[in-house]
Amino acid sequence: MSSSLADDLDGTAVSYTATAHPSLALVKYWGKLPGGVNLPATTSIAVTLDQLSSRVTVRAATRDRVTLDGAEAAVERFTPFFDAVRARLESSVRFRVESTNNFPTAAGLASSSSGFAALALACSACASPNRTPLSPSELSKLARVGSGSAARALFGGFTRWSRGAVAAEQLHPAEHWPELRVVVLKMSAAAKGVSSREAMERTRLTSPYFAPWVENNAAPALEAERALAERDLERLGTVARHSYLRMFATMLGADPPVLYWLPASVAAIKRCEQLRGAGVAAFETMDAGPQVKVLTIKDHLEAVLPALAEVSEVFTVCSPGPDAALGGSQESAPK
């Protein structure tokens, strides 16, 4: 049964707005520990992307309801998260959510990470307007219930989410490495056929390569952390490539196999290889979708951008982004 927005709102209808930026993993979270809610089997290391954003507005209402970029969303996907917020803040409030992304939703650009990070802030403010705000770590814990990668998106700059941890943590703020750039390519705006959640679980349950993937995660995570601390792009890019390629190896071993790549994804991977061969920093990574993101450095953009534009649409160029925050406006992702 549909009803108008006004029918659902309670008398007060104060609105709480929050903005967050997606968390791009350089060493991937892929697989959950059994028996918890989105507890990671692998330690992930990530960067928050400044030009992409999710903005949510939340109001108290008579029932939970969510619209994503103007379309009604299946509320069941959000219920465990809403329940966790209500339990934590001892509130019975229902949430009316309007969420917008300035990039394609569910197309492998980590929209659930920024969406749930923004929701953790806005829903907790709505559920308990008169108390001291929850700490970033508490908010990260709540966001994790919505989507694992959202635990990282609460924090700007560079983050670590350790195996089995209930919350992520910031390793360095964005200012640690202002010259770092992530070129976001758009191979397709179509929503992916298999969600990351389903693919991850299928991989855990059926892929013979899942156990070795988990066993071999500690060393790359540590290597990425050290490379980040030293701002060593060659080392960081190398370990990031290993991580995403091995993650895809586990998916190819699943039953039925999961293959997100498009011909344009492979073309971009090959183009990065050529660029590196010519001494240009271009280290690609991918997530649960066909889009390729390329790590580089400000001074190399001049060489990287035209080369990538020959094989794909350049959607935007990101720098390390800020913390998720209450309020905030959203602009379309500039090139």
Q: 184 and 316 in contact (C-beta within 8 Å)?
A: yes
Per CB under 6 A, 9 contacts ligand DP6: no
Tell me the window of 26-34, 95-103, 224-232, 273-281 that interacts with ligand DP6 (CB under 6 A): 26-34
Per CB under 6 A, 68 contacts ligand DP6: no
Closer residue to ligand DP6 in complex, CB, 170/196 = 196
Could you say which residues in the range 102-141 bind ligand DP6, by CB under 6 A?
Answer: 110, 112
Task: Count residues binding ligand DP6 (CB under 6 A).
Answer: 16
In angstroms, what is the minimal distance from the CB of 194 to ligand DP6? Answer: 12
Closer residue to ligand DP6 in complex, CB, 110/275 = 110
Q: 105 and 53 in contact (C-beta within 8 Å)?
A: no
Per CB under 6 A, 287 contacts ligand DP6: yes
In angstroms, what is the minimal distance from the CB of 222 to ligand DP6? Answer: 16
For ligand DP6, which residue of 147, 170, 207, 243 counts as binding (CB under 6 A)?
147
In 3D, which of 66, 41, 48 has the Cα closest to residue 56? Answer: 66
Residue 19, beta-bridge partner list: 55, 325
Beta-carbon contacts of residue 244 (< 8 Å; ≥ 6 apart): 28, 284, 285, 286, 287
Beta-carbon contacts of residue 14 (< 8 Å; ≥ 6 apart): 59, 60, 126, 129
Closer residue to ligand DP6 in complex, CB, 8/244 = 244
Per CB under 6 A, 224 contacts ligand DP6: no
Per CB under 6 A, 243 contacts ligand DP6: no
Residue ranges of E strands in the chain = 15-20, 23-27, 44-48, 54-61, 65-68, 71-72, 94-101, 158-161, 169-172, 180-186, 283-286, 292-297, 313-318, 325-326
Per CB under 6 A, 48 contacts ligand DP6: no
Closer residue to ligand DP6 in complex, CB, 176/197 = 197
For ligand DP6, which residue of 17, 19, 43, 44 counts as binding (CB under 6 A)?
44
In 3D, which of 181, 176, 295 has the Cα closest to residue 243? Answer: 295
**Angle 196-114-315 from CA coordinates, rounded to 5°:** 80
For ligand DP6, which residue of 196, 243, 312, 316 counts as binding (CB under 6 A)?
196
**Burial class of residue 256, CB neighbours in 10 A (0-12, 13-18, 19+):** exposed
Tell me the window of 5-13, 55-63, 193-201, 296-304 that interacts with ligand DP6 (CB under 6 A): 193-201
Task: Return d(Cα 18, Cα 326) in angstroms, integer.
Answer: 4
In angstroms, what is the minimal distance from the CB of 5 to ligand DP6? Answer: 27
Per CB under 6 A, 217 contacts ligand DP6: no
In 3D, which of 26, 75, 62 has the Cα closest to residue 236? Answer: 26
Q: Which residues bind ligand DP6 (CB under 6 A)?
A: 25, 28-30, 38, 44, 110, 112, 147-149, 196-197, 200, 287-288
